[in-house]
Structure 1
Amino acid sequence: MASPMSQKLEEKLVCSICLELFRVPVTLPCGHNFCRRCISDHWDKQRQAAAGTEASYTCPECRRCFERCPELEKNVTLHSVVELARDSEERGCAAGRCEAAPAELCRRHGRPLELYCEDERRCICSICTVRDCRRHRRVLFEEERAKKQTLLTESLEKAQEESERIEQAMKELELQTESIKEFPLLPPLESPEVLVPVEFDVAAVIKPICEILTSISRLLLEDLPGCVAPKAPGPADQDPVHPQELAVKALAPLPKCQLRAELLKDHRNLTFDPETANKYLEVSKGAHKAKHRPGTVPGQGQGPRFEPWQVLCTQSYGPGHHYWEVKISSHSVILGVTYRGLPQEQQQGHRFNIGLDGSSWGLQVREDCYLAWHKGHAQKIQEQLYKNLGVSLDYGKGLLSFYGLGERTKLIHSFHSVFTEPLYPVFWLCEGRVVTLCQRD
Structure 2
Amino acid sequence: MAAANYHRSEDQFLCSICLDVFNDPVTTSCGHNFCKNCLTEHWNTSDQYNCPLCKKVFNTRPELHVNTFISEMVGQFRDKAQQEASSSRSELQESKPGEVLCDGCTGTKLKALKSCLDCLVSYCETHLEPHLTAPRLKRHQLIDPVENLEDRMCTKHDKPLELFCKTDQTCVCMLCSVLDHQTHKFVPLKEEYEEKKAKLEETEAEIQQMIQKRQLKIQEIKHSVDLSKDDADREMAEGVRVFTALKESVERGQVELIDTIRKKQKTTEKQAEAFIKELEQEICELMKRSTDVRQLSRSEDHLHLIQRVQSVNSAPPTKDWTEVNVCKPLHEETVRKAVAQVEETLSEEMKKLVVPAELKRVQQYAVDVTLDPDTAKPYLILSDDGKHVHHGDVKNLPNNPYSSFPYVLGKQSFSSGRFYFEVQVKGKTSWDLGVARKLSKRKGRITVLLQTDFWTIRLKNGNEYETREARLSLKCRPQKVGVFVDYEEGLVSFYDVGAAALIYSFTDCSFRRKLFPYFSPGLNEGDKNSAPLIICPVRVTVKSGI
TM-score with structure 2 length normalisation? 0.30
TM-score, normalised relative to structure 1:
0.37
Please say which structure displays the higher CA radius of gyration.
Answer: 2
- Structure with bigger helix share is 2
